[in-house]
Chain A
Amino acid sequence: MSFPSCVIIFVFCLCTLVGLQITSVGRGRGGTDSLSQKLHSENKGKTTELVVQGLSLVAVQGCHGKNHKDAASVRATHPIPAACGIYYFEVKIVSKGRDGYMGIGLSAQGVNMNRLPGWDKHSYGYHGDDGHSFCSSGTGQPYGPTFTTGDVIGCCVNLINNTCFYTKNGHSLGIAFTDLPSNLYPTVGLQTPGEIVDANFGQQPFVFDIEDYMREWRAKIQSTIKRFPIGDRLGEWQAMLQNMVSSYLVHHGYCSTATAFARVTDTTIQEEQTSIKNRQRIQKLVLAGRVGEAIEATQQLYPGLLEHNPNLLFMLKCRQFVEMVNGTDSEVRCFSARSPRSQDSYPGSPSLSPRHGSSNSHIHSTGADSPTCSNGVMSTKSKQSHSKYPALSSSSSSSSSSSPSSVNYSESNSTDSTKSQQHSSTSNQETSDSEMEMEAEHYPNGVLENSSTRIMNGTYKHEEILQTDESSMEDSCPQRQLCGGNHAATERMIQFGRELQILSEQLCREYGKNTVHKKMLQDAFSLLAYSDPWNCPVGQQLDPIQREPVCAALNSAILESQNLPKQPPLMLALGQASECLRLMARVGLGSCSFARVDDYLH
Chain B
Amino acid sequence: MALLSRSRYTQEYICQIFSHCCKLQHWHSCGFKSLPQPLLCANGPDHQTILFNHGAVQSIAHLLVSASYKVRMQALKCFSVLAFENPQVSMTLVNVSVDGELLPQIFVKMLQRDKPIEMQLTSAKCLTSMCRAGAIRTDDPCIVLKTLPCLVRMCSKERLLEERVEGAETLAYLIETDVELQRIASITDHLIVMLADYFKYPSSVSAITDIKRLDHDLKHAHELRQAAFKLYASLGANDEDIRKKIIETENMMDRIVNGLSESSIKVRLAAVRCLHSLSRSVQQLRTSFQDHAVWKPLMKVLQNAPNEILVVASSTLCNLLLEFSPSKEPILESGAIELLCSLTQSENLALRVNGIWALMNMAFQAEQKIKSDILRGLSTEQLFQLLSDSDVNVLMKTLGLLRNLLSTRPHIDHIMSTHGKQIMQAVTLILEGEHNIEVKEQTLCILANIADGTTAKELIMTNDDILQKIKYYMSHSNAKLQLAAMFCISNLIWNEEEGSQERQDKLRDMGIVDILHKLSQSSDPNLCDKAKTALQQYLA
Contacts and interface: CB of A to CB of B under 8 A. Distances in A.
A209 B145 contact: yes
B28 interface: no
A172 interface: yes
A171 B188 CA distance: 6
Contacts of A219: 113-114
B158 to A, nearest CB: 10
A218 B187 CA distance: 26
B189 interface: yes
A218 B194 CA distance: 24
Contact of B184 (A171, A212, A213): A171
B190 interface: yes
Interface string B187-224: 11110001000000000000000000000000000000
B112 A215 contact: yes
A355 B298 CA distance: 73
A268 to B, nearest CB: 41
A171 B186 CA distance: 11
A371 to B, nearest CB: 38
B410 interface: no
B149 interface: yes
Interface in A129-170: 144-145, 168, 170
B112 A212 contact: yes
Interface in A17-40: none
A216 B113 contact: yes
Interface string A204-222: 0000010011011011000
Contact of A171 (B112, B114, B187, B194): B187
What is the interface residue range for chain A against chain B?
10 to 19
A144 B187 contact: yes
A215 B187 contact: no
Contacts of A212: 112-113
A213 B150 CA distance: 11
B149 A173 contact: no
Contacts of A144: 187
B114 A216 contact: yes
Contacts of A174: 188-190, 194
Contacts of A171: 145, 149, 184, 187-188
B159 to A, nearest CB: 13
A172 B189 contact: yes
A213 B112 CA distance: 9
Contact of A215 (B113, B184, B194): B113
Contacts of A145: 187
Contact of A173 (B113, B145, B187, B194): B187
B189 A173 contact: yes
Nearest to A144: B187
Interface string A55-82: 0000000000000000000000000000
Given A170-B145, A171-B149, A172-B149, A213 B187 contact: no
A144 B187 CA distance: 7
B114 A218 contact: yes
B261 to A, nearest CB: 31
Contacts of A213: 113
A372 B515 CA distance: 107
A27 to B, nearest CB: 15
A212 B114 CA distance: 8
A352 B44 CA distance: 66
A478 B145 CA distance: 61
B126 to A, nearest CB: 18
Contacts of A175: 190
A163 to B, nearest CB: 12
Interface string B50-66: 00000000000000000
Contact of B190 (A170, A173, A218): A173
A173 B114 contact: no
A209 B149 CA distance: 11
Nearest to A168: B187
Interface in B430-452: none
Contacts of B187: 144-145, 168, 171, 173
Contacts of A172: 149, 188-189
For A213, A216, A218, the residue with the greatest tally of chain B CB atoms inside 10 Å of its CB is A216
Interface in B131-185: 145-146, 149, 184
B275 to A, nearest CB: 24
A175 B188 CA distance: 10
Interface in A164-204: 168, 170-175
B180 to A, nearest CB: 12
Nearest to A207: B145
A170 B139 CA distance: 13
Contacts of B188: 171-174
Nearest to A220: B114
B82 to A, nearest CB: 27
B188 to A, nearest CB: 5
A172 B186 CA distance: 11
Contacts of B190: 173-175
A568 B182 CA distance: 61
Contacts of B149: 171-172
Contacts of A209: 145-146
Given A170-B145, A171-B149, A209-B145, A215 B189 contact: no
Contacts of A168: 187
A212 B113 CA distance: 6
A172 to B, nearest CB: 5
Interface of B: 112-114, 145-146, 149, 184, 187-190, 194
9 contacts: A144-B187, A170-B145, A171-B149, A171-B187, A172-B188, A173-B188, A212-B113, A216-B114, A219-B114
Interface of A: 144-145, 168, 170-175, 209, 212-213, 215-216, 218-219
Given A174-B194, A219-B114, 16 more contacts: A144-B187, A145-B187, A170-B145, A171-B145, A171-B149, A172-B188, A172-B189, A173-B189, A173-B190, A174-B190, A175-B190, A209-B145, A209-B146, A212-B112, A215-B112, A219-B113
Q: Considering the complex of A and B, which 6 residue pairs feature the smallest CB-CB distances, nearest first?
A: A216-B113, A219-B114, A174-B190, A215-B114, A174-B189, A212-B113
